[in-house]
Structure 1
């Protein structure tokens, strides 16, 4: 399987508030359930749209890494949809629904390809071209184009839009995903220099951010573009991280051998 990709959204420790710093630290180590629990409302108050959306995003990402927790993610997503008020909030919730349906499809849980396309199309209608959530939407439309519709040319165009938007909005983690997926397309086309550069940039960003749970996949991706013995060294390092995190992401195991190139 090609890399199914993670959410690419959410906060990093650089966002400043103690709550968001705690959420990021848990998320970056693969503790999505614990991170989501920090965002649950207390004292009988209902969830805010922002907290509900972030909680849903975390649980959708858990599905992508662990191939489980689908029902919990669906429940959190319905809550985010119910409390959304503005077009931006409704568009962001639709974007998460599209991502959950995409993950279910590419990981073989249930074919929800039509739902993924429909939800992302709805998000595109709701989010203005300059909205902060637009780069993530473009990225996810690229994922659907590449891994569901088998249209690498459309995927590349969407990834490039996402890459430019992520740079403009300072979405550093999303940049690591756009670098990686653009590099994956370059690798498929035999453009090794571009592939190595993109994969290396993706890895650099994740290491700088401390995105531990995403570092092993980045190492494995770079290994696919490197000659031996460097490729073996990178896969061995990825394997150590993979085992340290308890075999997460689950789909990475097959890519930690030389025959499992993108």
Structure 2
């Protein structure tokens, strides 16, 4: 049976050594390798379910999404993988905030995710955590905090060259400007968001922007 390269192949090699060469001490390492694969798989399965939710917005979403994210976080924590744990905890928070609308439950997960991402240099997860912390602040009516968090998220995304994410953030900043009665700024941000989406080839984000223009 062919085994692909990477951690599964390494685990398979350790299994072979244990069975045929008596090197059983490698099996603990094999367990860790497979736990890491399982954690990555769980995280991605959760994200796929979240994307499906964003596509149809079915009330309550799919509860398996949360199960996958929580399982990934547990595995990453056991492995001592703080970067992976931070990413998984961000997604747990996102499930609570976006799917079930429970911002109070979501917020500690965003804070923990930001802490771990900052510690491990995971700039992308930092940008996501700050974006969703901004949404919580906006919902609470704290527009200054929301704007600060989103602007920092946008700066991080520009550094990463994540144009689609920049466009999405500019759209969110436009809504904050609208809520803050800065109508001119809001429209300028929408135009900038469109330009960023076009440059990134982010047709999905561009559709969000165009659908939002009637609200400004």
TM-score range, shorter chain: 0.7 to 0.9
Partner of 1:113: 62
State the distance in 1 between where 2:5 and 2:211 align.
39
State the distance in 1 between where 2:170 and 2:6 align.
37
- Report which of the two structures shows the higher radius of gyration computed on alpha carbons: 2
Q: Shift of residue 225 of structure 1?
A: 1.4
Q: 1:45 to 1:121 in 2, by over 3 A?
A: closer
CA contact (8 A) 2:42 2:69 kept: yes
Partner of 1:30: none
Higher helix proportion: 2
Q: How is 1:27-106 mapped onto 2 (pairs within 5 angstroms)? A: 46-49=4-7, 85-106=33-54
CA contact (8 A) 1:220 1:235 kept: yes
Structure 2, gaps ≥5 residues long = 9-31
State the distance in 2 between where 1:230 and 1:209 align.
25
Indicate the SS of the match to 1:94: helix
Q: Alignment partner for residue 179 of structure 1, among 122, 126, 130? A: 130
What RMSD in Å do the two structures reach over aligned CA positions?
2.5
CA contact (8 A) 1:220 1:255 kept: no
CA contact (8 A) 1:224 1:258 kept: no
Q: Shift of residue 210 of structure 1?
A: 1.4
CA contact (8 A) 1:97 1:119 kept: yes
TM-score by length of 1: 0.63
Say which structure, 1 or 2, has more relative contact order (CA 8 Å, 6+ apart): 1
Q: How is 1:1-262 mapped onto 2 (pairs within 5 angstroms)? A: 46-49=4-7, 85-108=33-56, 113-128=62-77, 130-131=80-81, 132-226=83-177, 227-244=182-199, 245=201, 247-249=203-205, 252-253=208-209, 256-257=212-213, 259=215
Q: Shift of residue 108 of structure 1?
A: 1.2
**Could you report, residue by residue, the CA deviation over 1:143-183 in whole angstroms, capped at 9, with x for unpaired residues?**
11011122101111111110111100100111111111100
State the distance in 1 between where 2:211 and 2:112 align.
28
CA contact (8 A) 1:106 1:147 kept: no
Structure 1, gaps ≥5 residues long = 1-43, 51-83
State the distance in 2 between where 1:96 and 1:205 align.
23
CA contact (8 A) 2:53 2:62 kept: yes
Corresponding residue pairs, total: 184
**Could you report, residue by residue, the CA deviation over 1:30-57 in whole angstroms, capped at 9, with x for unpaired residues?**
xxxxxxxxxxxxxx8724249xxxxxxx
TM-score by length of 2: 0.76
CA contact (8 A) 1:206 1:215 kept: yes
Q: 1:246 to 1:163 in 2, by over 3 A?
A: closer
Q: Shift of residue 255 of structure 1?
A: 5.5
CA contact (8 A) 2:110 2:132 kept: yes
